Amino acid sequence: MAEVNDSIKRILERINSMCSNAESVLNLCMLGFLKHNAELLNDAQRISKSVHEEENEALAALGNVNREDEATKNLLKNLAVVIGHIEMATGVMDGMIRHIRVKLNEKILFGDKAVNEVTHLFKETSDVLKTAKDAIATKNEILRKHVLDKYEDISKLVNDYSEEHEERLIMGICQPRSASLYLNIVDSQSKVVMHIKQAIERFFSQ
């Protein structure tokens, strides 16, 4: 049993590392977006690759844990789902990196309002990633609730921002190309938070 506990502890440490690296990817995306810096996006892509690699390693480690009792089997299933959602959140960020890279390469500018909205969402999403990492490390119910509440807040915010931006597009205030990139970037934030929320729900269902 001690061997199983040690194995689970190492897997939880791997999950913590995945969360930390996913947060770094998001923050580098934000800085690359704000500073129009492709090198920062390259750094984000490099760290993202390590998250995908960590997923494979964590799942392989799960497969090697002795699962004689039903409780251990259920725990391992839940941890596999948690790992999968963190990896999927990172996959969404890979798409975000591509959209920001297009913005830089084609020298597409956003208005001040759009920049402020995207930046606000980046900060809110980063808070969710950091809180999720701490929630998994401490099993703190207050942190769990914070993640779930933030998911609701960010989902509403993304919906409001998207509707307002579509109205600006119809009125001719913004260009179709910039509008498409804006909508993809804000929608990506919502999807990242959705996956992290699902990871937290599954983790706390144990």
pLDDT mean over 61-71: 82
Looking at the predicted structure, is the pLDDT value of residue 128 above 80?
yes
Higher pLDDT, residue 27 or 2: 27
- State the pLDDT at residue 126: 98
Q: What's the pLDDT band for 2 if we cut at 50, 70, 90?
A: very low
Consecutive H or E run containing 99: helix 70-105
CATH code of residue 75: 1.20.58.220
The model carries a pTM of 0.93
Number of domain units in the chain: 1
For 76-108, give one letter per residue: b (16+ CB within 10 A) or e. Answer: bebbbbbbbbbbbbbbbbbebbebbbebeeeee
Looking at the predicted structure, is the pLDDT value of residue 3 above 70?
no
Q: Write the burial class of residue 116 (CB in 10 Å: 0-12 exposed, 13-18 middle, 19+ buried).
A: exposed
Contact 85, 195 (CB under 8 A): yes
pLDDT mean over 29-51: 98
Contact 11, 79 (CB under 8 A): yes
- State the pLDDT at residue 4: 54
Structural domain range at position 69: 2-203
Q: Indicate the range of 23-27, 62-66, 143-147 predicted with least confidence.
A: 62-66
Average pLDDT score over the chain:
93
